[in-house]
């Protein structure tokens, strides 16, 4: 568990399902993310899966124990490059409070200090201003504009809707 002034960053619990459902059931969450709104039953399965695995972290308000979002932080291949990818999704009710940057920064600092990480990367759609502002606020540097880099959604004819991505990076010495 990682603690900041206002937040706890911890492994998922099976009991996080209701809080996870509260925001992953909203259509607006998927404007820049893959997938679509989930059911409570899907949130229960997702919470159980995340509780049993690695890579996803719940972000919880210390004061209320309410999970307000989550972080993705996992090593990418090849393993010997010691590189982790960062991602985050937060409940819109709790956005614009600095929780994403506070928790992401704390997790990255922990990773550099205790996990032997050399580099952290993150990607976002250039239209997702809130996301790239978080990355810049925590000290990541924009390193690339990747053209038609990914797709999360499809047209009615099933053809991919390609999106560009900003690529951000941070090294231990950037802290």
User: In angstroms, rounded to a whole number, what is the distance separating the alpha carbons of residues 67 and 18?
Assistant: 9
Into how many domains does the chain fold?
1
**pTM assigned to the model:** 0.94
Q: What is the pLDDT of residues 159-169, one digit of tens each?
A: 999 999 999 99
| pLDDT over 90 at 175, yes or no | no
Say what the pLDDT of residue 151 is: 94
| pLDDT over 90 at 114, yes or no | yes
Q: Band the pLDDT of 94: cuts 50, 70, 90.
A: very high
Q: What is the pLDDT of residues 115-148, one digit of tens each?
A: 999 999 999 999 999 999 999 999 999 999 999 9
| pLDDT over 90 at 31, yes or no | yes
| pLDDT over 90 at 92, yes or no | yes
Q: Band the pLDDT of 158: cuts 50, 70, 90.
A: very high
Q: Which CATH number is 48's domain given? A: 3.40.630.30
Say what the pLDDT of residue 28 is: 96
The DSSP-derived string for 108-175 is: HHHHHHHS---EEEEEE-TT-HHHHHHHHHTT-EEEEEEEEEEEEEE-TTS-EEEEEEEEEEEEGGG-
Range of the domain at 23: 2-174
């Amino acid at each position: 568990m990682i603690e900041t002034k206002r937040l706890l960053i911890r492994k998922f619990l099976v009991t996080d399902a209701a809080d996870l459902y509260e925001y992953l059931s909203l259509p607006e969450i998927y404007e820049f993310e893959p997938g679509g709104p989930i059911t409570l039953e899907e949130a229960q399965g997702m919470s159980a899966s995340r509780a049993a695995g690695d890579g996803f972290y719940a972000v919880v308000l210390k004061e209320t124990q309410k999970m307000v979002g989550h972080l993705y932080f996992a090593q990418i291949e090849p393993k010997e490059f010691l590189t982790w990818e960062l991602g985050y999704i937060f409940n819109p009710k709790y956005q614009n409070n600095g929780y994403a940057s506070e928790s992401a920064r704390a997790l990255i600092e922990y990773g550099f200090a205790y996990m032997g990480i050399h580099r952290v990367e993150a990607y976002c759609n250039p239209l997702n201003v809130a996301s790239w502002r978080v990355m810049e606020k925590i000290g990541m540097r924009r390193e690339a504009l990747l053209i038609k880099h990914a797709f999360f959604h499809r047209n009615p004819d099933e053809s991919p809707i390609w999106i560009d991505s900003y690529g951000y990076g941070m090294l231990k010495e950037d802290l």
